[in-house]
Structure 1
């Protein structure tokens, strides 16, 4: 009996599941579940612990303090007035429950478990008898939230987020069941999903959900139950795009032509990452899911094309996506401004989900390369080192402490729209599930994180232990411990950045090629290896205690942007290993907008254990521009760069990622006014 069938029987659903509902097609590569991977490293493990000890409790406390919990209580009583700002505020509770559930799998906590149970009781009490669950209407059906419309689903395409709420409910429910074995939240979710499937589908109501994620959620319920309606409804929602006739297809306004909602044309005709970045990347993740489960080749071709467009023309060097503040959306090809960069943290979360799915479809390391870039840079920049301060958007440059336009110069504890903090709370504890993957007798090592796991290849248990100090050190050790000598293939990812590839596209390149290469030893002896899809292929009979040493070159690399990215012409970014660096005011005489990093600058590296929870810094001497009343000059100055993810943990001030290589113009606007100088800004 398969694991999935055991799951169904425990759930009490297996006996009722028709034979045709048994899953046949799926991702050819399966991730090793996060519950089977125990981390011991000094980079990610402390972050996961902070998420458990600080982020999740803070999120629950803020859900209480901001009346998000009260909304459920009032919906149960059918009395009161919706007490928060947005109709999707329900999802902050669902996402935090999801994160808490994952956390409980690793760190059992009776008090947290009991609190989650009580929250789930409140959620269930707010559910209407037919399964409908949406506090913004249920509290006072005669006067629903103005985004919701007078009737259910009436404004789902643009504003109501009824199905967005449902999607996050489904994801939380599956996580809670898998973590605790309790069916309380899953029962609520299935009742709601059955209602959704009865309302939407061929011959029923049609809508392209305004904010995608219900599609991903329905797929998770399908995996949990095998009920075919959940998968077919997810596919129906995806295929509903591009059918709405109310948009002005000739308009250049993405809100008028439907592009903002990825609804301007059928998904199989879409070729670019477009519109609201978070919505888009949730849609693309669901397209990958449905393509894997149904074998839909047109859907697969479309999601492949869109991925290449994003990675080739619409991604920042630190992995951020969604350049345009107006609509939190993708811009045109190569539209990647720095001072107004948006880069919503939720988009980085969605990007991790999407790239993991693309890897599972194709087995190519380029997807993991992009995921690694996001994880070590544009994602964890979204949460402060304290675990309870956050960025909604992630800037690429701060020219003064006030910030520019919609750029955030400092972190906040919470937001009126607090989707990002709770999204981080649910992603972080699941990170161990991205380390390894398996296909038959092939074991993929994707992320380099100290820890151990045990999995089965054929009939044998295989233990794998990683030991490293990544991302600061390129020396990686893997100990293989099969129960008995076993033939299988170990596929070690050789990151693109260690193969002279800054990005799996022409969007970013290294300024000069490196002669250093990744080397591998098995049991102390150097071995030649074949590189296949970015993986070193090590096929052999593995014996207990076999040791693989992978050494990656950890040079400081200068990164150049494609010439069509106008904001980065004549500029350089700095990278070491997977980490993108920035300069912050605190380390550079109070400014960064006056720093020049010429070609040939020699950098020194040093690990600073007392700085920003321990970081590797880059130092050099560079020219700095000084502007006086009647003259401009450059003077030598000590320069320090820190990992991008660590900026804004020491107060407000200037920051930059892209440095000019020479003086081409002097931005007098970046000089402080007399009033600012007097105020110390």
Structure 2
């Protein structure tokens, strides 16, 4: 793998977002989403599905009587909420929010068992059966999200109570799982613990957590398969027929591809199974590979990356095309109307992208991260922060969603909450931590991955550096950086040239640089002795592009999608009338981009001329001889992330071309 200079992510305490686009989202999370989701966790949202989450913790802690309600992984909704709230606290101290989190942590601590174990489902329902059904009951998954929350809160506040709870649980897990005698030779049914242990290792500096993460990754898919052994033990206890009636049969029939346990991870060469599980596992694999310099593990990551991004990725950054199993299917199977593209999966793609860049400093990882950030993740939340998509299709016909069994998973409007509410707090924690993804530092090189207005602090050698980024991205491609230093400092600025952009230009103090000399693996690298007041400018021309899909992607043959900058566009019925599938774009059509501050909280829309069928020719006819009579119409396309925020109706991303 070779020696790679350490890549350091920027602490949220060292960056202040001052961006027209993302500041709105962060304020939404801070002022609306976090309070709203706290109400949801406490079952206080009228008309929403109850969460039961806080109530379960109160029962487990002995504060209330009752039975467990919800999914076995319901605990994670609280943990992800704490993580999101912690990221907000890191940048925006709030005593009341901190008090609420502390009270939640106190409740979590009361529920923790004397040996460190903590899972409200098993504490309440099956205390004697802990660690007997890791295939389906998500104990390690819950533990992972608790660990992530603990690390985030510790980094934001310096308080160690939740971190200590997490360490006690991780220590317990280390005593239960492993190759040693009297330990379970197992691993998680839903990956998450692996990446969380890597975060805990860095927070505490304890190699036990690194080694435990490595064990879970190394053991996965080995023979004899642990899930077979687990099922045999469960059958001895509850009977074979009872085991078959559980989720077990669905999961075992494909050799555990569903949870990526069909073969050892270093032998995996195609993304299969549940997409969120895959993203969390691939993130951990890349993180571990970089940490311990594991060439074989990183090669597996690269092969999987190529398969996902070249054959199984929606243009919006969505992944996982099948409702059945929320999973990957096969190469180029990317249907639009039945797409699953779970919000959590796109969030996981952002995590994986960042870890891949940590090993291989190539702009292709940040390009995919950008695609997901501006399209397939934030589409999962309404512009008012009070409703959410679990599924993110690329084509919606509401009547079909209501009447077709194969489209029942597709919602034409966002929902207030879900019984399985993994996505709302996931998108909240991503937005709240957006500052972590803008920059990376590699000794005396500062990488700029995303163009988000901000003030950021760095240290090169013993010199303190402040970079002020001014941007109206993603609507405009003119970005400026102001350098603030006490004394001249030598370092390299590496500016990402997005894959969608041609003819980028970079200036330093007004002097244009030669791009073919300074661009390395997609980054324009400018090495200089920087002085106080120096200015770097990068221009990324944004034009409206019509994109085609690979011919193997059969659903989109003869169609195009519209993109401008990083934003993918769609047509909505509210702007273009019904029967959107009938609209055709002439190959030589003129398309214009125009910013509208009154539309969808301010967006750049795309307008142009298109064609529709002459519907009067079809009166009383279901079929007729082809005559191709059309009428000209004007169309309006809006950013995909903003669809379903007005009058409900049809939506399409891919448009016929003629």
| 1:192 lines up with 2:169 in the alignment | yes
| Contact 1:436/1:446 (8 A) holds in 2 | yes
SS at match of 1:496: coil
Report the equivalent of 1:614: 602
Report the equivalent of 1:122: 107
Shift of 1:292: 1.4
Shift of 1:590: 3.5
Of residues 11, 36, 45 in structure 2, which corresponds to 1:58?
A: 36
Shift of 1:170: 0.3
| 1:36 lines up with 2:51 in the alignment | no
Task: Return 644-653 or 621-630, whichever deviates more.
Answer: 621-630
| 1:446 lines up with 2:449 in the alignment | yes
Query: Deviation digits for residues 175-206 of structure 1, max 9, x if unmatched?
Result: 11111111111111111000000111121211
Q: Following superposition of structure 1 onto structure 2, how do residues 115-154 of structure 1 map, counting pairs within 5 Å?
A: 115-141=100-126, 151-154=129-132
Mapped partners of 2:501, 2:524: distance in 1:
12
Report the equivalent of 2:549: 561
Mapped partners of 2:90, 2:506: distance in 1:
35
| 1:602 lines up with 2:590 in the alignment | yes
Query: Deviation digits for residues 470-495 of structure 1, max 9, x if unmatched?
Result: 11111111112222112111111110
Report the equivalent of 1:429: 432
Mapped partners of 1:626, 1:87: distance in 2:
54
- The TM-score with structure 2 as length reference comes to 0.90
| 1:419 lines up with 2:422 in the alignment | yes
| Contact 1:466/1:477 (8 A) holds in 2 | yes
| 1:526 lines up with 2:512 in the alignment | yes
Report the equivalent of 1:205: 184
Task: Return 327-336 or 219-228, whichever deviates more.
Answer: 219-228
SS at match of 1:159: helix
Mapped partners of 1:467, 1:458: distance in 2:
26
Query: Deviation digits for residues 360-381 of structure 1, max 9, x if unmatched?
Result: 1111111000000000000110
Report the equivalent of 1:106: 91
Unaligned residue ranges in structure 1 (runs of 5+): 1-24, 143-149, 500-516, 663-681
| Contact 2:68/2:120 (8 A) holds in 1 | no
Report the equivalent of 2:241: none
Aligned residues: 611
Report the equivalent of 2:308: 310
Report the equivalent of 2:151: 174
Q: Following superposition of structure 1 onto structure 2, how do residues 213-224 of structure 1 map, counting pairs within 5 Å?
A: 213-224=192-203
Report the equivalent of 1:22: none
| Contact 1:68/1:83 (8 A) holds in 2 | no
| 1:397 lines up with 2:391 in the alignment | no
Of residues 408, 411, 418 in structure 1, which corresponds to 2:411?
A: 408
Report the equivalent of 2:342: 344
Mapped partners of 2:205, 2:454: distance in 1:
33
Mapped partners of 1:201, 1:252: distance in 2:
27
| Contact 2:178/2:186 (8 A) holds in 1 | no
| Contact 1:584/1:591 (8 A) holds in 2 | no
Query: Deviation digits for residues 415-459 of structure 1, max 9, x if unmatched?
Result: 000000011121111101111111111111111011111211112
| 1:464 lines up with 2:462 in the alignment | no
Report the equivalent of 2:635: 639
Mapped partners of 2:256, 2:653: distance in 1:
33
Mapped partners of 2:250, 2:17: distance in 1:
49
Shift of 1:54: 0.8
Report the equivalent of 1:77: 62
| Larger fraction in helix | 2
Mapped partners of 2:113, 2:145: distance in 1:
18
Mapped partners of 2:261, 2:362: distance in 1:
29
| 1:365 lines up with 2:344 in the alignment | no
Shift of 1:626: 4.2
Report the equivalent of 1:654: 650
Mapped partners of 1:287, 1:168: distance in 2:
17
Shift of 1:327: 0.4
| 1:455 lines up with 2:434 in the alignment | no
Shift of 1:589: 2.1
Query: Deviation digits for residues 565-598 of structure 1, max 9, x if unmatched?
Result: 1111111001000000000011002342221112
Mapped partners of 2:614, 2:69: distance in 1:
49
Report the equivalent of 1:539: 527
Mapped partners of 2:456, 2:475: distance in 1:
23
Query: Deviation digits for residues 106-151 of structure 1, max 9, x if unmatched?
Result: 1111111111111111111111100110111112436xxxxxxx62
Unaligned residue ranges in structure 2 (runs of 5+): 44-50, 229-248, 402-406
- The TM-score with structure 1 as length reference comes to 0.87
| Contact 1:78/1:139 (8 A) holds in 2 | no
Mapped partners of 1:569, 1:245: distance in 2:
44
Report the equivalent of 1:234: 213
Residues 480, 543 of structure 1: alpha-carbon distance in 2 compared, 3 angstrom cutoff = same
Report the equivalent of 2:572: 584
Residues 56, 282 of structure 1: alpha-carbon distance in 2 compared, 3 angstrom cutoff = same
SS at match of 1:498: coil
Over aligned residues, Cα RMSD in angstroms? 1.8
SS at match of 1:618: strand
| Contact 1:79/1:140 (8 A) holds in 2 | no
Residues 232, 617 of structure 1: alpha-carbon distance in 2 compared, 3 angstrom cutoff = same
| Contact 2:12/2:91 (8 A) holds in 1 | no
| Contact 1:176/1:182 (8 A) holds in 2 | yes
Task: Return 260-269 or 583-592, whichever deviates more.
Answer: 583-592
Shift of 1:400: 3.3
Residues 253, 161 of structure 1: alpha-carbon distance in 2 compared, 3 angstrom cutoff = closer
Shift of 1:244: 5.0
Shift of 1:26: 8.6
